[in-house]
Each structure stands twice: as structure tokens, then as C-alpha cells.
Amino acid sequence: MIDADDLIELVRNYNPTTDEALLLKAYAYGEEMHAGQKRHSGEPYFSHPVAVAAILTEMKLGDAAIATALLHDTIEDTRSTYREIEKRFGTEIAELVDGVTKLTNLQLTSTETKQAENFRKLFIAMSKDLRVILVKLADRLHNMRTIRSMRPEKQVQKARETMDIFAPLAGRMGMQWMRDELEDLAFRVLNPEGRNSIMRRFITLQRETGDMVEKITHDIRKELEKAKIEAAVYGRAKKPYSIWRKMQQKDQGFSRLSDIYGFRVITESEADCYAVLGALHQRWRAVPGRFKDYISQPKSNGYRSIHTTVSGRDGKQVEIQIRTREMHEVAEAGVAAHWAYRDGERAENPFAVDPAKWISTVTESFENAEDHDEFLEHVKMEMYSDQVFCFTPKGEVVKLPRGATPLDFAYAIHTRIGDGCVGAKVDGIRVPLWTRLKNGQSVEIITAEGQRPQATWIDIVATGRAKAAIRRSLREEDRQRFEKLGRELARVAFEHVGKKASDKALRTAAKHMGLGNGRELLAQLGAAEVTARQVVETLYPDLVAKAGDEIDAAQAVVGLDANQSFRRAPCCQPVPGERIVGISFRGKGVVIHAIDCPALEEFEDQPQRWVDLRWHSGRHQMAYDVSLDLTISNDAGVLGRLCTQIGEQKANISNLEFVDRKPDYFRLILDVELRDTEHLHAVMLALEADSNVASIERHRDPERVVS
């Protein structure tokens, strides 16, 4: 246990003007009150308040907070009283000790109604003086560090409470270091096998690669020296729970995770932050979508920093945070930076957020809650932002992504429930099907016989399961519409080669394609299960294959090895005339992507798989599908006229899918076979000029991946 002189020395290191007499008096009084009391470990109980006070010195808090830590259990666990504390140490410290005592008595994991009321009390305590929560968090941190001395069932209860309440609260307050440690300590109790597995893999990785943190830190320092930028560089491996969470979120094994190390660059000025960013991005390739500038757009708790991820040594993804020293103080202490000392004086950190303003922004929406459930839902929305947890009328939990609707909920239960959905009640109130669900809500789905999914549902739902079920049902129900659409696609395709799509021709093609009859062929053509090109090619292979001096599509790319096959990526559908790059797949050849395709982000840490490619110059075959997103007026003959216009541009429609039907407008995805970018531009220009086309743009679907 730290003695009084050592504790005062810890405070004096950052606050030379500390009131030593006050701290000595608080230490002596706390030791006297807890005399004879023992912890579960057998140690003197007073060792705990002293350890809590020591944790607060790491946050560089003032004398009142340190004294409160030394006294925080006296009112609850000893004969001391509020009046006694106020008489000896003043009203400020007495109020703080009383506030911590009240928080200790809250049962945050009790029944839902009780839990909501206790949460309300917690936030009221926070609004009075945020130092109460800082002492309570330090108290919880030390209890978690020494949790092994508790009974197993008590360990699990405290660990769950820490993971659900205190760790997210520390993160919300900007004290990420405390959140990381609290989560990891709780993880050690709740899933020891998972944590040990991560630790073993870390040891194996270090044995195989050496100390990657030291190597990468050296690489970063070397680049900053070249750029003549003064900065400190720190690196560390991420906490086991942080890695475990990434594995769960990305559904990846440890070996596939690359950003398991974190690095910080601490500069002298804001301008240096951006200079560091430039130097790092000049040296290493930045990973798209992994850049955030919290300097120009600070978080509500005062956090400022630049976050970037680069492909560093050996292609490893390296996460780097860049900030000034003052920003770093706020990043470490969060809202506690408001009370922190620096260089012996109470610091006026320009980046520290005013605790009163911060807590008012956090609790503003809570105050409008009319009942316990609503308040609890508000709290959980603030704490957790990744997923939505809703309940069936029987109390079963349904986990959905944020943005999910009652329709997603219905399909998550059963496809039959989703298909027959006619309405929903959320917390007993009838709501529209497009309502976005929130944490903790109870959802009841209303069904009716004969109900079928609507085409507009595709835009309402957020989950892949729901979208797939709706599309499947629509295809089954709309067979007649598909036949009609298929006939129009066939007419245009046949006319393109100078032939007529007669019933006999369609029956013959269906027979050779093993589809039974002409109607089945048209239905599959309209449903995009076969393409118009396939149908025409079955009957007239010479007309379709006639290429003259055109470049064979199989030989259209330059830069491949001999006999190396390639495919176009379905997500970006590159065509001749666009800049391209290849990604190699073992045993599957090379997949061609447009250079600006977002899907390339997945391969940023695998440079050995990238292949430098380009298209052959010259006239290419008309063999490249491109998807167009059109919104057209719902008038008679419009679709047929547009198909004719595409045919006039010597292009071929290979697929057509309606994605939205409104009384006045249709939105559809049209797949067109083209030669190159010039051909694409000509087709889009012709369609855009039509008065019945409200909008047209190229459609790229990042969810369509190579299989």
C-alpha cells in the first residue's frame, strides 16, 4: 500500500502547490475509519481508497478529487457521516464523497424499470459534478484489477456490469485508455479462453516476425527525420478484447487481421500534424476509407486527432493517430482534462471541453423521456451505436444492424412472417413499416393471409436476408410481368442481328437451351436468369460471333502472363478505355477492377497480388456488360422506345430489373452490352436526351463480389 508521503509526492509531481495538509488529513482519517477492515484478498481495506487516489493522480486531478478518493467509502462502510466529512473537509469534498456513495448503491444491472431509474440518478450525479464519475470509474478500475479475490459469481456480475456500463461510459467521456483496460479486465473474466487464445497467437506472431512495434516505430521516425519534423512516436499492440471485437465484427480469424498495432505521433503544433500526415502518405499507401480528421471536426468530448491507416512494413496495415501535446492530454484524460494540472499549474487546455456543456449535450435527450423504458433506450443509444437489440412479444432478443426496420425484424424471425407482414407495432403503438428500430424496443408483427411482398419493400429493408427473400417472392409472383419484359428484350436483341423473335424461334431456342418451352425462356430472360445474347447466340452463332478486325474479348487485356485467365469484376464492371488493375486469385486467374473501385481497399495490405494491366488499343467486341440506373416516367410505350434507342446505338440489352415502381415513375437497372467507354457515353447521351428519362447514371454495386 502506498503511504501518505508517497501519494503526496505523486500529486506534487504535477502540482507543486498541492495542499499537503489536506491530503495528509484525508489519508489519516480514511485510515482510521477503515481500521480493522479487510478486503476479500486479506489486504487492509484502506489499500483500496489509496489505490483509487493513485489512479486519479495519473489523470493529474486536483486536491479535492484526491481527497474524495481517500474518503469515498467512509460514509457507506464506516461510522463516518456526511456532516462529519463536511465539518472536517468542507462542503465541496463532502458533496463529492456523498455523490460517490450514492452511485455505489445503484444496482445498474437490476430489472429494466429499476435500471432505468438508476441510470437517471447516475446522469443526475454526473450533471452535478463530473468528478463524482471520475472517482467512481477509478474505483471500478481498481476493483477490476483485483477481481480475482471475489467469488466466481460475483466476478461475472461485476465484469458484465463493467462491460455494459462503466467501460462504454469511460469511452463516452473520452478516456479511451480506461475503456480499453476495463474491457480487457472484464473480457478476462467473461471469456478467459478467448483472451488466452489471442495472447497465444500474439506470442506466436512475435516469435515469427520479431517486435513489429519497434520496427514500425523506427520506420515512422525515419520518415519524420527525413521531413525534418520534430515529433514523438509511440507504438503498442492493441488490447486482446479490442482484437477479439474486430474479429467478431469483421468475421475474420486472427491471421487475417492486419491492423492489430496502433501508433501515435505527438507533434508541437497543429501545422506539424498535417505535415506528418503528408510525410506518411508520401511514404506509404493510404488505405481508402480509413482516414478521419477530428482536428477540423472535433468530437463532442473535446477529442482532436488525425486518424489514418497505411500499408506499412511487409504490407501490414498500420493505424496511426496524429495530434499535438495539448490534444494528446485531452485524448488521454477526456473531459477530466478540464481539471488537470500541467507544469505545476491548473492547465487552461484550449481543447478541453467544459464538463457542464458536455454533460448537458449528453443528457439533453434524456430529459425529454416520459417513462423509464424511453429513458433507458436513450441511454443505451448513447452507449452503444453498433447494433440494435429488439424484443419479440415473448421477450426473445433479435439482433439487427442499425437502420433496420420492422420488416427486417419480421424476416429475421421467419421468411413466412416477413412475406405476410401487413403492419407492425413498436412498444404497443402501430408504426409504418419503414420506421427505423431502436435499442430495447419490443416489436410485434401483424400478418394476413394472401399478403405478398411489395416491390417498394426492397428500399425499406436493411438486411441482406430480407432483400433476398423479397426479391425471390417478387420473381415468383411476377412471372407474367417477366414474360412480357423478356419478350421485349428478345425483340430488341433479335432485331439487332436482323432477325425476328417469332414464337417458333423462341421455342427452338428454348429446346436447345433445355428450358422446355418459349414461355419459360421469356420468363427466365425477364428475370435475368439468361441473357438475350445467349438466346440469339443459340440460334445464330455466326451473326453474334462475327468480329472482323475487332479485338477478341479473351485477348483484350495487356499485362497478363501466358495462359493466364481473367474476369471482369462485377462490382465495378470495367470496360475498354478505363484505367484498370488486376487482383490475382490462386487457381482462379486474375480479376480486373477499375482503378477507382472501392473493393480494392480489401487488398491494400496484399501488394503481391496486384497486377499492372491495360486494355489493348483498337476496336473491341461488343461483349462488356454495364449496368445503368434509370428513372423513367410511367407512360405507355416509354420502355419500348428506350429499348429501340439502345438498339439504334448498336448496343444490346442483356438484362432489365425494376427496383422501384411508383404511380408516376419507374426506377430500373438496365444491363447493356457495349464495346468501350465511348460506346457507353453514346448510349447514356441518347437516353438522357429522351424527355421521359428523369435521370440516368452508371450503376455500380459494391455488394457484387467475385466468387
Return the active site residues. 76-77
Cβ(119)–Cβ(107) under 8 Å? no
- CA 186/CA 150 separation, integer angstroms: 13
**Adjacent-strand bridge partners of 337:** none
- CA 398/CA 406 separation, integer angstroms: 11
Give the cell for residue 439. Answer: 435499442
CA-wise closest residue to 11 among 66, 52, 49, 51: 66
Long-range contacts of 524-527 (CB under 8 A, 24+ apart): 524/482, 524/486, 525/482, 525/485, 525/486, 525/489, 525/490, 526/481, 526/482, 526/483, 526/484, 526/485, 526/486, 526/487, 526/489, 526/656, 527/475, 527/482, 527/486
- CA 411/CA 615 separation, integer angstroms: 44
How many CB atoms neighbour CB 383 within 10 A?
Answer: 16
CA Rg value for the chain: 33
- Angle at which helices 112-128 and 91-104 cross, to 10°: 160
- CA 141/CA 105 separation, integer angstroms: 17
* Integer CA distances (angstroms), 510 to 447, 505, 524, in order: 39, 9, 10
* Plot region of 397 (φ>0 → left; ψ -120 to 50 → alpha; else → beta): beta
429 contact partners, CB below 8 Å, separation of at least 6: none
Long-range contacts of 517-521 (CB under 8 A, 24+ apart): 519/483, 521/486
* Integer CA distances (angstroms), 302 to 156, 297, 355, 362, 383, in order: 33, 10, 10, 13, 17
